[in-house]
């Protein structure tokens, strides 16, 4: 037995992890979320804006991190739409516009069919140049975004008239999977214009620890990984009575597998250490 | 005839200015017996050493009980925009002409124009962003008029439509002209341009026919000389008139200045002690003059007004600046001065130590296990007859980590050439591939084995992060390299690569400056160069004295940072414990000036 | 000469941009340099594509091990390129409904969109999700309580792992509000915000200085190994 664990083939671990994730998904294991302060801050930043405010949403992620970030994007867009905010959607990642299109299809077109493209929301698309894009649009949108993703000239988009730069936005929401993302937005937009630009963000778990130093001055709130998404989702669901719509429960639904997977990790670490100590006691090789 | 037209336009401008002027925000008079004293001695001056977008305001606090003031409200004058008024006015005036020609009842026409003028006054005229807003409103007004025309007189509809479209185009043209003028201070103002073109256009049309716009510049010589002189004269006259009108507009609007509140500033405890406050107004346009006023505001406490009631605000008389201040752009951005100082210290130290090292002084560097392992890893690969895999991260050549990675590659490739081991370098950017080929080729040459260099082993895979990872995983599983080096910028793929490498039993050495990926590399690789060690690698591996010097210079930078951290923490702690004015000023200086 | 010109360009470009950062009149130069780089990188796509074809075609012709994968790579590459450049099945844009090629290459319903949606997206997500398996096996293998520091690290890991799930509520949910700071989810945030940040900052300062020194060496031409010239 000990021998088996000592030389445990990693494929057993892979199998255990597969089951730890698959079983909770199949039996739809989920738990109630208690939102932490950070999620409340994100929620309040959007909720407390006057109805019809201008919100810039930057979709800086790709399909790889969709699992963590899509639930956030869905809730962000729902929340903004419910508040009737004007949504200016853009991306620093090449596939960002596709991720945005997906969310627009699922949220705006399904649940807010009265919202008009160009009046209530606009997809400005992707621009290459990473933080360079932020540096430019923070003072002038039209220098880079002469048209939206459909090729409509900037001045012909009704909701873009009177918008000159990011500073004209009432809030910036960034959904980020890495570089370029939240850190660059903080460094080149919020830090450069602390009085004009307010920002909240949702990011992957790996990034979150690096962004905590920016809270609360440069970042009003932060949703870290699926946990943050679930907390924020819980707040949106509660406020807008979305208990029956499964697409607004994606984050909460993913917390079940996450719990079991984390417990498995703890078990594996303990198991590894037990083996380590037994080996040590027996005076065996490390 | 032309002049009459222009004059009529100018006359029409008068009501616009009057309407614009009527909305002047006056300081609200105190609504009850509560007296709030105004601040005094308000001064505004251009912030020196900046990019020309800031003005600093200072004022002495209001007399009397400081608890009587909740905060100070800062107002700035709206930028006077006679040019916007003029462009819009021209549009209205053209509209006027169109309708006159179409023989539409005057009262209907008047109503339309009134509507447009009213729309223009809705929000006052501020920054030129508003121009778009007005243009849009104007379009709406025009469209409604168009509908009206179609309904009443179908025969006139087509003519009106063409006319209106033509005018809208003109308006569209006016905006870029205006924008261009804002870009270039020396060019004529758009109002003048419009006035000049208004004079020249009909003459040119008469001479060259309807398609005069296409080549009139080349055919200018064809205009008879007397007509040309007359044209120039008319043009100059129109320009003069337009200039005079712009000056009058500025004067008229300038006398009745409009303000908007920009910030409510709450005095800090230490500012109350000092009796003086300052505030930096940002995001100003250096082509405009600004006036400011500051009022003291008292807001009733919530417990005084009771649940549900809205607390009342009491605002004092304003303190105002008398002369307009224009922000100026200096040749050096002073906000960045402290940063330039650090740059000079760090770079200076690096350069001095490089010189010292060149002069023959021996500098010592601690052993970095990860780099010591390079020879061992290459040796093992040779013994086992398996290749070495080297990955320079997934970013392009503009990332300094990629360059640091290539530096390590240079050494690894040289060792590989000496041992006659095969080194494979898949890259995720084509520029990196080209650079890596140069590096490896030079390393083989240096090792005296140029014949062993195989260009095909250094190749491009894909820019796509996970596509690249999938390729690497597949190659690792099939070829089973004996040693894997990961040197550069990595993201989520770090652990996937390192675990795959571990599963095939390769010796793995990683180096990155991505803090989030370091734990993964540390857990799964045999050796990891953490952050600065990775950058020190080239110096360490080359052993060249000047490279060692640069490391020593870096240490001086670290000492400066350390000292500053200690000073900053000490001052901030003391300031918050003692509440001393001077210490708080010092903290603010550190935060706002040194760390900006 | 082959080394001197690149070094000269590097030095001029680098120093001009550093100085431009401090002079308001020239602050747009950085953007210009970034645009130049974008142009170069765009041209490099051709270089990359050409190299990809060359390597894989050679593999196929030599019948090297795994040459079938190269066939798949080339087919996938050409198919995606054609779908994107040719705007295959891409509906025209709403502004110009009569123009066949006016729509975006990734318009819903186009061949490129289909490839993205049903091939690229699931494949990328699969690659990313493999992390879960590797994290587990790495944790099992590497997380050993070898010394005091490692024990501290282990304890912290357990707190974070539990604090990021609903388990936090089971373990410490009973604590009264006045002890809220000790609830696992809040302890997690404190660990991340205070301890982790402190450590991270130290690493970041070291990295920043390393970046500065390396950049300076590159600009001064002290370190030119990336150009393929060790000694120079």
DSSP string, A1-37: -HHHHHT--HHHHHHHHHHHHHHHHHTT--------H
pLDDT of residue B160: 52
Question: Is there a contact between B253 and B21 (Cβ–Cβ < 8 Å)?
Answer: yes
Q: How far apart are CA A136 and CA A144, in angstroms?
A: 7
In a domain, A251, yes or no: no
- Three-state DSSP at B388 gives strand
The band of B150, judged by pLDDT with boundaries at 50, 70 and 90, is low
- How much is the mean pLDDT over chain A? 88
Q: Each residue of A205-263: pLDDT tens digit?
A: 888 888 888 888 889 999 988 999 999 999 999 999 888 888 899 999 999 999 999 99
Please provide the DSSP assignment of C103-164 as one string.
S-TT-TTSHHHHHIIIIIHHHHHHHHHHHHHHHHHHHHHH----SHHHHHHHHHHHHHHHHT
pLDDT of residue C118: 92
pLDDT at C231 over 50: no
Closest CA relative to residue C194, chosen from B572, A183, A209:
A209
Measured in whole angstroms, the distance separating CA B80 from the mean position of its chain's CA atoms is 24
The verdict on A62 and A191 lying in the same domain is: yes
Give A156-162's long-range contacts (Cβ < 8 A, gap of 24+).
A157/A118, A157/A122, A158/A118, A158/A119, A158/B136, A159/A54, A159/A86, A159/A88, A159/A118, A159/A119, A159/A120, A159/A121, A159/A122, A160/A88, A160/A122, A161/B132, A161/B133, A161/B135, A161/B136, A162/B129, A162/B130, A162/B132, A162/B133
For residues B184 and A270, the model is more confident at: A270
Which backbone phi and psi does C224 adopt, to 5 degrees? -125, 20
Measured in residues, chain A has a length of: 286
The band of A196, judged by pLDDT with boundaries at 50, 70 and 90, is confident
pLDDT at B139 over 70: no
For residues B525 and B284, the model is more confident at: B525
The band of C198, judged by pLDDT with boundaries at 50, 70 and 90, is confident
pLDDT of residue B566: 94
pLDDT at B124 over 90: no
B neighbours by CB contacts (3+ pairs under 8 Å): A, C
CB C167 to CB A276 under 8 A?
no
Q: Which residue of B has its CA nearest to C41?
A: B431
For residues A221 and B330, the model is more confident at: A221
pTM above 0.95, yes or no: no
CB-closest option in C35, C132, C196 to A17? C132
pLDDT of residue B94: 60
CB C134 to CB B499 under 8 A?
yes
Q: Which residue of B has its CA nearest to C210?
A: B532
pLDDT of residue B473: 94
For residues B555 and B117, the model is more confident at: B555
pLDDT at B215 over 50: yes
pLDDT of residue A286: 41
Which positions in chain C touch B460 (Cβ < 8 Å)? 47-48, 51-52, 55
* Strands of the sheet with B40-46, listed across from one edge: B40-46, B55-60, B276-281
pLDDT of residue A187: 86
The band of A90, judged by pLDDT with boundaries at 50, 70 and 90, is very high
CB A193 to CB B132 under 8 A?
no
Cα-based torsion angle of the residue sequence B18, B22, B24, B28 in order, rounded to the nearest 10 degrees: 160
Q: Range with the lowest mean pLDDT among B210-214, C17-21, C197-201?
A: B210-214
CB A162 to CB B129 under 8 A?
yes
Domain that holds residue A275: 2-27+257-281
CA quadruple B147, B151, B152, B155: dihedral positive or negative? positive
* Pairing between β-strand B483-487 and β-strand B458-460 as defined by DSSP bridges: unpaired
Which positions in chain C touch A152 (Cβ < 8 Å)? 95
The verdict on A207 and A84 lying in the same domain is: yes
Which backbone phi and psi does C201 adopt, to 5 degrees? -65, -40
For B151-267, where are the E strands, in sequence order? 259-265
Task: Kindly tell me the burial class for residue B226, based on how many C-beta atoms sit within 10 Å of its own C-beta (0-12, 13-18, 19 or more).
Answer: exposed
pLDDT of residue B95: 58
The band of B129, judged by pLDDT with boundaries at 50, 70 and 90, is very low
Residues 27-66 of C with CB under 8 A from B: 27, 37, 40-41, 44-45, 47-48, 51-52, 55, 58, 65-66
pLDDT at B182 over 50: no
pLDDT at B549 over 80: yes
What are the residue boundaries of the structural domains of chain C, listed by start?
Answer: 144-232
CATH of domain B369-544: 3.40.50
Average pLDDT over residues B208-228: 66
pLDDT at C149 over 60: yes
pLDDT at A160 over 90: no
CB C47 to CB B330 under 8 A?
no
Residues 159-178 of C with CB under 8 A from B: none
Count residue pairs from A and C with Cβ separation < 8 A: 141
For residues B363 and A227, the model is more confident at: A227
The band of B8, judged by pLDDT with boundaries at 50, 70 and 90, is very low
pLDDT at B392 over 50: yes
CB B329 to CB C25 under 8 A?
yes
The verdict on A156 and A273 lying in the same domain is: no
Average pLDDT over residues B435-451: 92
The verdict on A14 and A49 lying in the same domain is: no
Q: How far apart are CA A137 and CA B211, in angstroms?
A: 39
Average pLDDT over residues C134-152: 88
Question: Is there a contact between C3 and C220 (Cβ–Cβ < 8 Å)?
Answer: no
Q: Range with the lowest mean pLDDT among A98-107, B34-43, B229-238, B584-593?
A: B229-238
pLDDT at B249 over 80: no
Q: Range with the lowest mean pLDDT among A160-164, B48-52, B131-135, B203-207?
A: B131-135
For residues B77 and B54, the model is more confident at: B54
Tally of domains within chain A: 2
Which positions in chain A touch B283 (Cβ < 8 Å)? 167, 193, 196
Q: How far apart are CA C16 and CA C133, in angstroms?
A: 48
Give the count of beta carbons closer than 10 Å to the beta carbon of residue B138.
21
Cis peptide before B238 (omega within 30 of 0): no
Q: How far apart are CA A14 and CA A264, in angstroms?
A: 11
The verdict on A114 and A11 lying in the same domain is: no
- How much is the mean pLDDT over chain C? 86
CB A17 to CB C136 under 8 A?
yes
The verdict on A82 and A12 lying in the same domain is: no
Which CATH class name applies to B31-78+278-320?
mainly beta
The verdict on A126 and A228 lying in the same domain is: yes
């Amino acid at each position: 037995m000990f021998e088996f664990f000592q030389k445990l083939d990693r494929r057993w671990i892979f199998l255990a992890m597969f089951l730890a994730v698959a079983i909770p998904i199949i039996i739809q294991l989920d738990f109630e979320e208690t939102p932490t302060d950070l999620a409340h801050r994100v929620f309040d930043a959007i909720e407390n804006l006057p109805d019809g405010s201008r919100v810039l949403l930057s979709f800086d992620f790709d399909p790889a991190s969709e699992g963590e970030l899509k639930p956030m994007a869905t809730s962000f867009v729902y929340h903004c739409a419910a508040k009737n905010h004007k949504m200016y959607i853009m991306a620093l990642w090449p596939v960002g516009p596709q991720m945005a299109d997906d969310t627009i299809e699922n949220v705006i077109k399904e649940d807010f069919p009265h919202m008009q493209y160009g009046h209530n929301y606009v997809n400005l698309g992707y621009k290459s140049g990473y933080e360079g894009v932020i540096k430019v649009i923070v003072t002038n949108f039209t220098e880079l975004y002469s048209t939206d993703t459909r090729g409509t000239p900037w001045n012909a988009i009704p909701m873009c008239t009177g918008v000159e730069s990011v500073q004209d936005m009432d809030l910036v929401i960034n959904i980020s999977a890495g570089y370029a993302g939240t850190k660059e937005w903080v460094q080149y937009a919020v830090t450069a214009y602390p009085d004009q630009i307010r920002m909240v963000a949702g990011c992957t778990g790996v990034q979150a620890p690096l962004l905590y130093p920016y809270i609360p001055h440069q970042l009003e709130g932060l949703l870290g990984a699926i946990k943050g998404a679930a907390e924020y989702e819980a707040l949106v669901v509660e406020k807008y009575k979305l208990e029956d719509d499964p697409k607004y429960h994606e984050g909460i639904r993913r917390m079940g597998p996450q719990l079991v997977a984390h417990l498995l990790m703890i078990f594996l670490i303990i198991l590894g250490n037990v083996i380590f100590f037994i080996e040590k006691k027996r005076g065996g090789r490390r | 005839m032309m002049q009459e037209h222009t004059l009529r336009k100018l006359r029409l401008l008068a009501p616009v200015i009057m309407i614009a002027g009527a909305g002047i925000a006056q300081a609200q008079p105190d609504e009850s017996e509560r007296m709030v004293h105004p601040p005094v001695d308000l001064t505004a001056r251009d912030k020196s050493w900046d990019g020309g977008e800031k003005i600093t305001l200072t004022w002495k606090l209001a007399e009397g009980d400081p608890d009587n003031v909740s905060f100070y409200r800062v107002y700035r004058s709206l930028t006077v925009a006679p040019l916007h008024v003029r462009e819009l006015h021209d549009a209205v005036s053209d509209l006027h002409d169109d309708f006159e020609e179409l023989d539409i009842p005057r009262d209907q026409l008047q109503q339309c124009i009134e509507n447009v003028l009213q729309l223009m006054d809705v929000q006052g005229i501020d920054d030129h962003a508003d121009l778009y807003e007005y243009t849009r409103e104007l379009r709406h007004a025009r469209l409604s008029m168009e509908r009206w025309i179609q309904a009443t007189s179908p025969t006139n509809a087509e003519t009106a439509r063409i006319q209106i479209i033509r005018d809208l185009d003109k308006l569209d043209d006016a905006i870029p002209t205006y924008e261009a003028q804002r870009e270039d201070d020396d060019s004529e103002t758009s109002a003048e341009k419009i006035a000049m073109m208004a004079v020249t256009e009909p003459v040119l049309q008469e001479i060259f026919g309807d398609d005069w716009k296409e080549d009139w510049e080349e055919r200018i010589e064809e205009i008879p000389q007397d007509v040309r002189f007359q044209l120039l004269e008319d043009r100059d006259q129109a320009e003069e008139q337009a200039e005079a009108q712009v000056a009058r507009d500025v004067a008229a609007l300038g006398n009745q200045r409009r303000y908007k509140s920009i910030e409510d500033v709450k005095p800090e405890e230490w500012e109350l002690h000092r009796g003086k406050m300052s505030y930096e107004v940002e995001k100003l346009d250096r082509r405009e003059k600004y006036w400011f006023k500051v009022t003291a505001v008292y807001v009733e406490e919530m417990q005084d007004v009771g649940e549900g009631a809205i607390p009342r605000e009491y605002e004092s008389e304003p303190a105002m600046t008398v002369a307009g201040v224009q922000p100026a752009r200096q040749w050096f951005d002073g906000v960045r001065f402290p940063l330039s100082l650090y740059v000079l210290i760090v770079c200076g130290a690096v350069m001095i130590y490089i010189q010292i090292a060149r002069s023959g002084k021996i500098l010592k560097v601690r052993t970095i296990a990860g780099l010591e392992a390079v020879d061992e890893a290459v040796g093992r690969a040779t013994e086992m007859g398996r290749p070495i895999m080297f990955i320079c991260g997934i970013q392009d050549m503009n990332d300094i980590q990629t360059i640091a990675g290539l530096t390590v590659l240079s050494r690894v490739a040289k060792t590989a050439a000496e041992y006659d081991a095969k080194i494979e370098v898949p890259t995720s950017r084509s520029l990196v591939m080209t650079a890596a080929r140069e590096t490896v080729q030079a390393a083989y040459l240096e090792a005296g084995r140029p014949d062993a260099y195989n260009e095909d082993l250094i190749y491009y895979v894909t820019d796509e992060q996970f596509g690249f990872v999938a390729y690497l995983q597949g190659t690792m599983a099939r070829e089973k390299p004996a040693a894997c080096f990961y040197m550069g910028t990595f993201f989520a793929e770090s652990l996937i690569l390192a675990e795959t490498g571990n599963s095939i039993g390769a010796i793995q050495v990683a180096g990155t400056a991505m803090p989030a990926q370091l734990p993964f590399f540390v857990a799964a690789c045999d050796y990891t160069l953490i952050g600065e060690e990775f950058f020190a690698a080239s110096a360490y591996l080359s052993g060249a004295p000047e490279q060692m010097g640069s490391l020593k210079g870096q240490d001086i930078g670290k000492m400066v940072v350390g000292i500053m951290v200690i000073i900053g923490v000490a001052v901030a702690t003391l300031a918050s414990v003692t509440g001393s004015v001077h210490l708080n000023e010092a903290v603010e200086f550190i935060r706002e000036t040194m760390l900006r | 000469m082959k080394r001197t010109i690149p070094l000269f360009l590097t030095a001029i470009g680098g120093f001009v941009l550093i100085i431009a950062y401090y002079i308001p009149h020239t602050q747009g130069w950085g953007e210009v340099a970034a645009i130049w780089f974008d142009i170069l990188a765009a041209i490099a796509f051709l270089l990359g594509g050409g190299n990809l074809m060359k390597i894989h075609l050679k593999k196929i012709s030599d019948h090297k091990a795994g040459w079938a994968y190269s066939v798949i790579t080339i087919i996938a590459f050409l198919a995606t390129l054609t779908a994107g450049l040719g705007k295959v099945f891409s509906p025209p844009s709403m502004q110009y409904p009569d123009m066949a090629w006016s729509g975006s290459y990734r318009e819903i319903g186009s061949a490129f969109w289909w490839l993205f949606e049903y091939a690229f997206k699931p494949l990328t997500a699969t690659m990313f999700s493999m992390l879960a398996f590797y994290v587990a096996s790495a944790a099992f293998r590497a997380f050993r309580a070898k010394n005091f520091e490692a024990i501290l690290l282990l304890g912290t890991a357990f707190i974070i792992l539990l604090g990021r799930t609903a388990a936090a509520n089971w373990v410490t949910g009973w604590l009264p509000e006045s002890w809220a700071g000790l609830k696992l989810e809040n302890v997690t945030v404190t660990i991340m915000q205070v301890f982790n940040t402190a450590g991270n900052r130290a690493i970041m300062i070291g990295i920043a200085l390393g970046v500065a020194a390396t950049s300076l060496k590159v600009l001064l031409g002290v370190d030119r190994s990336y150009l393929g010239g060790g000694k120079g």
